[in-house]
Every structure is written in C-alpha cells, then in structure tokens.
Amino acid sequence: MPPPPLTLGKEAAIFADSSGLRFLRPRPQDAPNGGHWVGGWKLGTGAYGQVSLWLFIDSATHAPLASVAIKDTASSKPTIEEGVYEGIYERLVEKCMDFGVDPGRSRGQADPAERFCKEAYLQGTMTVPNSTEEMFSVPLYGWARKQPSIYGDAYQHYRLYMPSYEYGDLNGLISAHRRKGRAVPEPFIWHTLECLLKAAKQLEVQAREHARPRDSDVIVVFDMKPDNILLAPPDRDSSFPIYPRPHLADLGGACLTNRYDAKNINHNMSFQRTQGYDAPEMTYEAPLKPGTLRGTCTNLWQIGRVAEALMKLEPWFKPIDYGKMVHLEDRSISILSWQGSLPGQNYSAALRMIIRDCLKFEPSARPGLETLLPEIEQNKPLHCQGIDKYGSDDWFKIERTKANARDIGKPPPHIDSPETEASRREERELKRRLDKAAPWLRTWTLQEGEELCKLNVFPDENLEVEYRPKNNFWTTDENYNVYATDEVTFIHPLPYRIVAGAPRRVVSQETTFLKIGDLHLVSNTAQGGAPLS
C-alpha cells in the first residue's frame, strides 16, 4: 500500500535535497575549472516516490558535465537482510554503493538488520563498474536511507542514485509511433529482443556474483513492461548504431530466487506485477510441473510480451484469465496470424516465431537463451536491411570506397557555380534529413557528422524510430550548438540561453529560473532546487 500523498512543501523539500551527491563522480576537484551540482528538477512522481534531476556544472564554462537522477522512494518492507539476499551487501560495499544505508553506523558498516533494500540490492547486483561489455540494465551509483522518513513512521525513505535517461522509455517510443501512425521498424524489434535477451543472461550471471551464491540463482524481473524499459543513447560502437539501447529499470518488484527457494517452490513469492504482462506461472493457480519454477523462463515470457507490444503498438494489454481457458493450446499467445493495419506491420515469420516461442504457456516449452540469442544473430542480416551496421567503422570504410569510385572521372565542382533551384532543393533536403537524424547523429563526433553530410547516405526513414515531441536531450560536446527542431527539442533538460547577470535564482510555483554566470536555465516542471553554493 502506498504512503499518503506528500504535501507540496514536503515534495519540494525532496527536490531540494542534495544529500549524497558528494559521494558521486565527478567531484569539484575532478573538473579542470572546478564545478558544483545544481538541481533538483522534477523528472517524475508516482505513488511510491519522486525522481529528480541534478547536473554537475563547470564553474568556468557553465557547461553541464554530468547528470544524475535521484529516486526517492517509500517502502514498508523490513530492513533486515535474510534468506537468498544474504551476502549481497558486502559486494555492494566493494562497489562503493553505501551512501549512508544505516544512519546509525559508518558507510560500509551497516547492521544486517538495518540495511536491506531489495531494489538497491538487485540494481546494485546488476551494476558492473568499468565493465568491458554493455550491461542492459540501469546501473546504480549508490543508495542511502533517510531518517526521519519524510513518508511517515510506517515507511522507510530510501534514496537511489542512478543515471538519467534522456531518450525516455519504450512506452514513449510506442506512443510516438501511434501518434504518427507509423509501425515500429522490424529491425528495432530485433534490436530490442537482442538487448533484453542479453539482459536475461546477465540476470543469471550477476545473480551469482556475490558472497554466497547458489548455482541456480537468477533475478526474475516480474514487472517488465514498456515503461520500465529505459532507452540509453545510440552507440556507434555497438550493434544497431542509430537505435537507442533498451535497459531494464525498476527492479523494486523483482526477486532473487533459485531452484531451492521455498517461496518459489510453494508459489508464495511476493513480487510486483502489471496485469497483461504477467506470465502464466505468475498468476495461474493450478500446480505447475516440476522444474518449471519462476526463473529465466518468466523473464523470457515478459520479453516476448514487450516485443508483442512493439509490434501491435499496444503498451497496455487486457488482463489474461488463464483459468477460463479450457484447452491448453489456447493458453499460449500466438501472433503468427496477427495482421496490423499500418504499413510496415507485415513483420517477418521469423520474428513472429521467436516471439511466439517466448510466449508459450508451459515454461518448459519456451526455448532457452542458448537457442534464442544465436537465432537472433542468424536472422539480423536477413531482416534488418543493413541498419544493424549503419554508421559503424566498417560501414564508413565501405561508403568511402563507394564515394571514391563515383568520383573517378567526375569534373571538379565549380566554386563560383550559380545557385540553382535544384541545389536549393538539395540543401533543404539535406537539412531535413539532418533534423530527422538528430536523435542519433548527436551521439557522433562533429567530424563523423561532417563526413556523413559529404557522403550524403542516410538510412531509409522507415527504419528510424520516433520519439516523444519535446523529448529533452542535452550534449556536453563543445562542438555542438544547442538547437531545436519542430519534432524534438535538443537541449539540456532545461531550455537555456545566454544572458548577462550574476548568479541568482527565482522560484515561481512550477517554474524555476536559474542564472549561473552567463547561463540561464528555465524549468517548467521544477519545484525549488538546491542552493547554488
């Protein structure tokens, strides 16, 4: 049961609370010109808490060097560490994640009866500092427990520190495509499946990386759905360089379990779920066959359901009543015969079959990760139209070779050639494509962007994904200017412009104006903020 709603004053106090930021990097002494954290701007609120944004500002240039999201959350669960979670805290301390977990003790020395926060334990377990491979879940920087609790005596007040995800979530992406009447490109669904299946593997591997692991330990997410899958920026060094990368978020409703877990065996687990996204073994009351406990098979079913949501542009599904389904074959969700009404929804049979297999009713009938991941790797060249390689180093080499071959024998352009209507159209079209490409092009270097303009080889627009209008982006690359298009506003999460004036701040209800030297920040959602000092 959620806590009583906070008063506006208490909510503003949470957004103004900068505690814990001193444990983060960068620190003022790490910045060449010095720096300081400013915030907190409201990113969102829910029944159990609030999320605020903080920025680390360079003292000389006033450029934002880093950002962090702080999640303040209420919990009525016990703070004692027990059962399958014993041994995790020590590993999190090694990662320097104790920002003040036990207010009665020093950091890293928390009492086992006072330190347990399931969301922090699981998110921290999935965090690998300096990992050589991408981790497909939202990392945790650290967590703390505040006393007295602003949510009341019946609730603990936890603060979790993590990156901010400016590309939004899958729910926002689905909404943007619905609004445009555009199907989600099939390559992006393959990309999402690949990322989430790799996450499922990491949910096994990382669950066994603590002081007292069991060979079958696994983290089961349980509340996996589009709005709990955040989008990391595109990465030119990864597969599908122009697509944002889905990362699992909100592990507060997840559980660590294994084949010996009595609560799992007796169907007595406590977890959070969303109707329509619950796998059969989460809700079906009839006994399941031996060996089909909740585990990776459950994560796979929910991954299939998320992929189905992308195909159908349906972020929310009706509840599934498995008990009313007489025939076993009716209990498996099949999308082989589904036909969408939008152009581009004629998805391949290969994609449909993988999703169907994930959504089978019997957990034991679902394929394993050792089958699914190679299948996706095998199908990418067949169904992704080269978008999985677009923008990579190899792609640039190939396109340079093609451009050089085209230029052989061509006369050099005349510098003084008069401007023609055709050249003006070409220039307008280039600008339009650059604006359309801005969500992924902004992650490239200036030199890479300039070379793309020279090559003038853009991907099929039908293969690009949509974002929510006015989605907030910002860049720390000094070579890029802040600018806006009609579709997406490319700015630091607060619109900013250069003005003169000494540092000061004015708060007016829902709007905060912040001046730091020549930098003027405006937030339409802010409620207060921390002092500038």
* Residue 129, domain member (yes or no): yes
Domain boundary among 146, 166, 186: 166
Same domain, 197 and 153: no
Separation of alpha carbons 150 and 148, rounded Å: 6
Same domain, 294 and 220: yes
Number of domains in the chain: 2
Q: Say how many C-beta atoms besides its own lie within 10 A of residue 152's C-beta.
A: 13
The predicted pLDDT at position 206 comes to 95
Q: What is the DSSP letter of 440?
A: H
The predicted pLDDT at position 531 comes to 32
* Residue 103, domain member (yes or no): yes
What burial letters (b/e) apply to 36-49, b meaning 16+ CB within 10 Å? bbbbbbbbebeebb
Same domain, 162 and 248: no
Short-list 182, 229, 194, CA closest to 466: 182
Same domain, 225 and 108: no
Same domain, 134 and 221: no
* Residue 464, domain member (yes or no): no
Same domain, 91 and 229: no
Same domain, 199 and 153: no
The predicted pLDDT at position 448 comes to 87
* Residue 216, domain member (yes or no): yes
> In this structure, what CATH number is given to the domain that contains residue 38?
3.30.200.20
Give the list of residues 6+ apart from residue 352 with CB closer than 8 angstroms, or none. Answer: 335, 336, 338
Domain boundary among 383, 407, 439: 383
> In this structure, what CATH number is given to the domain that contains residue 187?
1.10.510.10
Separation of alpha carbons 476 and 53, rounded Å: 16
Same domain, 132 and 185: no
User: Contact 162/18 with Cβ under 8 angstroms?
Assistant: no
Short-list 148, 164, 147, 89, CA closest to 120: 89
* Residue 353, domain member (yes or no): yes
The predicted pLDDT at position 289 comes to 59
Same domain, 238 and 179: yes
* Residue 491, domain member (yes or no): no
* Residue 356, domain member (yes or no): yes
Which residues partner with 497 through β-bridges?
Answer: 520
The predicted pLDDT at position 212 comes to 79
Domain boundary among 166, 200, 227: 166
Same domain, 255 and 219: yes
Per-residue pLDDT of the chain (533 residues; tens, 9 = 90+): 889 999 988 988 998 899 999 999 767 677 788 888 888 888 888 888 999 988 888 787 777 778 899 999 999 999 999 888 998 999 999 999 999 999 989 999 999 999 999 999 999 999 999 888 999 999 999 999 999 999 999 999 999 999 988 888 999 999 999 999 999 999 999 999 999 999 999 999 999 987 777 888 999 999 999 999 999 999 988 999 999 999 999 999 899 988 888 787 777 777 787 888 988 888 755 555 555 678 899 999 999 999 999 999 998 888 887 766 655 566 678 789 899 999 999 999 999 999 999 999 888 899 999 999 999 999 999 999 999 999 999 999 999 999 888 877 677 666 666 678 887 888 888 888 888 888 888 788 878 888 988 898 999 999 999 998 755 554 433 333 333 333 433 333 333 222 223 233 332 333 344 443 444 444 433 333 333 32
Same domain, 162 and 242: no
Same domain, 221 and 311: yes
* Residue 264, domain member (yes or no): yes
Range of the domain at 18: 8-166
